[in-house]
Structure 1
Amino acid sequence: MIQVEHINKIFKVARRSAGFLEAMKALFHKEQEVIHALSDISFSIGDGEMVGYIGPNGAGKSSTIKILSGILTPDDGTCIIDGRVPWRERKEHVKNIGVVFGQRTQLWWDVPIIDSYELLRDIYDIPKTYYHETLSELTELLSLEELLRTPARQLSLGQRMRCEIAASLLHNPKILFLDEPTIGLDAVSKLAVRDFIRRQNQRHNTTVLLTTHDMQDMEALADRVLLIGKGRLLLDGTLDELKSHRPKKDAALDEIIAALYRDFEI
């Protein structure tokens, strides 16, 4: 289903010190730092797998998700998803994927949620009968009935995230990319979202790639873990293998594992 081979992505970031003089200097000579967001990333994910993609901030998780969803084009390497290259066949590719960015929204801010859903129905060209059946199922499973007539800007973060997940599933995608979908949610909302994602995988055999900083999300959802650090894929295995890691000769892996112990409380 998902085959990633030797993906590389570099960003150039402008740097300058504070002050008017430094700003004037930057007009004529820009200082740039090269950031290796992804370095030789390779992995494969089969149909119906639920995979956790974890690592510290700035490790390259979101960059990977954006490449897989066709938003970014890598500098090198290949990526085949369901027989398509995401950034070359984007229109056909997005018909089969759902994407949720915890800090981005696909809902229109000032209109009721149901209006956003109706627009998405037109964008994805979803048949009306199928759309209403899917919306009814998602409304029941995610408890959206009281939210559909409310503008997105008037929803709490937890309510909005439930609506975002429903929006990404209206067209019944084969693959679901979740980039920190439970960020900022309370305990009850997190449990509801986790339960729904697991149920979606079991009912529809949906392939799920999940990035998160919440280890309970990993334990509840991921059957397999990909660990990334400083743009490199450091570990591909189970959560138990990650927990049982002992310091080895790979200093980069040891450093990232130590950070995970601090941040994730493994």
Structure 2
Amino acid sequence: MTVPGAVVEVDRLVREFTVREPVPGRRLRRRARRVRAVDEMTFTVGPGEAVGYIGANGAGKSTTIKMLAGILVPTSGSVRTCGLEPIGERRTLSRRIGVVFGQRSQLWWDLPLSESFAILGAIHRLEPDALASRRAELVEELELADFWSTPVRQLSLGQRRRAEVAAALLHRPELVVLDEPTIGLDVLSKQRLREFLVHERRTRGTTLLLTTHDMGDVERLCERVLVVDHGRLAYDGTLSGLGATVAAERILVVDLAEPVADLQVPGTRHLGSEGEGVRQRLAFDPATTTAAAVLTAVQTRAEVRDLSVAEPDVEDVVRRLWARNRAVGAGGRPGSA
């Protein structure tokens, strides 16, 4: 399969691992078993797209990304990234993609952040003026100045995440792959990072592939969603289409000025109350109403002091999707919209 201009091309991609597990009743014996982490995966990502690649832990997301980056060799099938064969052209590919792995850092643990960026600039062969300009932009936009001279090992989780994203974007890659980019960030830092990624796509045409358990990230950053479960592609379409497919609900949590009886708001389900009715939880379907509409209805019944909206849980979305597929006789095979 060759798709002209595609940034990512995956065709019937398979990756298997051999695991050794205990033999029942034989404590010192182990037997080998082949596990298929990625199972006949096929999809493409076009230039400038923002794609959410979501699924439960162990679904095969990280394995797929490692094959896209040339870290793992596919068992069968084919993959091309930025028009290149990842394994055979890995060095060239590394200058055209930026990757942030959840458990793997590209920063030097004992060096100040500033020195890590100087080394990365040399690795990517950036001209001094280009490096200085890009570094200044990233420091300002991702608010790195306060810990720019601090060793990486002394940074908080949120500070490291912002620094990792900045490092992945330093050389202005065509494709950016981010694994849980907003984990550990406070609300304001999370919003700032999302705004910066939107700006990068709008001004540079950067292609974004995002793996996350935060559906808020997907909703605000991605136009398309790929759902993977047990190594198979379960859904490829829009986020709104996914919500309609699985009837994923959002939850509005309201803190009221004084206790009231359980709120009965049209278009919602009352999930529970705390503090004799001071805090109440209402579930609603985003395909049929909005958080703003629900809040307006609540305010006609009681004074609201604070609120929050909980996004659907990724594991719940995947579970509902596969339950639906089985119910319509798909036998657990992928669905799309």
Give the alignment's TM-score, normalised by structure 2: 0.71
Structure 2: which amino acid aligns with 1:58? G
Q: Higher strand fraction: Structure 1 or Structure 2? A: 2
Query: Whose relative contact order is higher, 1 or 2, with alpha carbons under 8 Å and at least 6 apart?
Result: 1
Runs of 4+ in 1 over 2 A off after TM superposition: 16-19, 183-189, 250-254
Q: Aligned AA for 1:63?
A: T
| Partner-residue secondary structure (3-state), 2:118 | helix
The structure where helix makes up a greater share of residues is 1
1:72-131 CA-partner distances (Å, limit 9, x unpaired):
110111112222111110000110000011232111111100111111111111111100
Q: Cα distance, 1:189 vs. partner?
A: 2.4
**Residue 16 of structure 1 corresponds to which residue in structure 2?**
22
Question: What residue number does 1:264 align with?
Answer: none
Other-structure match for 1:223: 223
- 2:161–2:184 CA contact under 8 A, matched in 1: no
- Where 1:16 maps in the other structure, the secondary structure is strand
1:249 paired with 2:329, answer yes
CA distance in 2: counterparts of 1:197 and 1:18, whole angstroms: 50
Give RMSD over aligned pairs.
1.9
Aligned partner of 2:9 among 3, 17, 22: 3
Residues 227 and 147 of structure 1: is their aligned pair in 2 closer, same or farther, counting only changes over 3 Å?
same
Residue identity (%): 44
Matched residue type, 2:175: I
> Aligned with 1:226: secondary structure?
strand
Query: What is residue 131 of structure 1 aligned with on the other side?
Result: 131
- Displacement of 1:170 in angstroms is 1.1
Please say if 1:207 is aligned against 2:207.
Answer: yes
Question: For the Cα contact (< 8 Å) 1:65–1:179, is it kept in 2?
Answer: no
Partner of residue 104, structure 1 = 104
Determine helix, strand or coil for the equivalent of 2:198: helix
What is aligned with 1:259?
A: none
Matched, 1:188 2:188: yes
2:65 is the counterpart of 1:65: yes
Q: Which residue of 2 aligns with 1:78?
A: 78
Give me the whole-angstrom Cα distance separating, in 1, the residues matched to 2:142 and 2:24: 48
Task: Give, in whole Å, the separation in 1 of the partners of 2:242 and 2:180.
Answer: 20
Do the aligned partners of 1:180 and 1:210 also contact (CA within 8 Å) in 2?
Answer: yes
- Count of aligned positions: 249
- CA deviations 1:115-150 (Å, max 9, x no partner) are 111111111111111000100111111111122100
CA contact (8 A) 1:144 1:163 kept: yes
Q: Are 1:176 and 1:208, in contact at CA under 8 Å, matched by a contact in 2?
A: yes
Gaps of 5+ in 2: 1-6, 247-323
Q: Secondary structure at the match of 1:13?
A: strand
Aligned to 1:94: 94
* d(CA) in 1 for partners of 2:36, 2:150: 42
Gaps of 5+ in 1: 257-266
Distance in 2 of aligned mates of 1:249 and 1:187: 42
- The letter of the residue matching 1:211 is T
The DSSP-based 3-state class of the residue aligned with 1:168 is helix
